[in-house]
Amino acid sequence: MVNKEEFYIAYRKVFGDIKKQATVDSIDAILNCFDKITIKIKPIEKMAYMLATVRHECGPEMLPITENLNYSARRITQVWPGRFPTIDSAVPYANAPERLGNRVYGGRLGNGVLEGFKYRGRGFVQITGYVNYKKFSELLGVDLIANPDLAKDRFVGAKILVTGMIDGLFTGRKLSGFITSGGVDYVNARSIINADVGRVGASIAKDAEKFEKILKSS
């Protein structure tokens, strides 16, 4: 179990002062959820990678969020180049979050054509799509289908984060496949959450190394 006082002393030395109590509350929820699961192989490293993932997905404040989708036309072409190959194709969806959500997520991930925005990314790891909301509703006994915003609750979000990464519920890949008794691969562990390893894997890995040092000193 992590000594919280020592953890936050070390955290502030590495990442700077914590400006919001909500940040502490979010981190505490994640640490407490992780502590309830028996992890025999490299628990510190696995916890470190989870915290680094949250810092990447939610920013330095590490608060559970909802996917923005309020993008300029140019940004839309950068995020979804296959769906929007030109600026002109993206213009009808610029600064129109609901329309964009239904366009990029509607009709896939278990969503109806007008459900893409409803089941857009939320929480610490941005679960997306009806199938994922249904999966975690059944797993946690929480009705995320009727109230998808519950994924932003820090306690629910922490359970989604921890169980999802340990059991491979996001992409089918488990944390134990990258953090083993034989070594640690923080870079490619990104594939547990998303296929964008080449773009963000190295930066998340650097934060994971920082969190590992913090945890080992606490």
Q: Are residues 78 and 107 in the same domain?
A: yes
CA separation (Å) from 61 to 24, 169, 180?
A: 9, 25, 29
Quickly list DSSP for 116-165. TTTT--EETTTB-SHHHHHHHHHHHT--TTT-GGGGGSHHHHHHHHHHHH
Q: Are residues 135 and 77 in the same domain?
A: yes
Which residue type occupies 69?
L
Q: Are residues 103 and 205 in the same domain?
A: no
Q: Are residues 85 and 141 in the same domain?
A: yes
What pLDDT, in 10s, does the model give residues 153-178? 999 999 999 999 999 999 999 999 99
The predicted pLDDT at position 67 comes to 96
Q: Are residues 163 and 58 in the same domain?
A: yes
Q: Are residues 92 and 120 in the same domain?
A: yes
Question: Which range marks the domain in which residue 144 is found?
Answer: 66-148
What pLDDT, in 10s, does the model give residues 49-81? 999 999 999 999 999 999 999 999 999 999 999
What pLDDT, in 10s, does the model give residues 29-53? 999 999 999 899 999 999 999 999 9
Q: Are residues 71 and 58 in the same domain?
A: no
Residue where a domain stops, chosen among 148, 168, 200: 148
pLDDT at 151 over 90: yes
The predicted pLDDT at position 148 comes to 98
Q: What is the pTM of this model?
A: 0.94
Q: Are residues 143 and 70 in the same domain?
A: yes
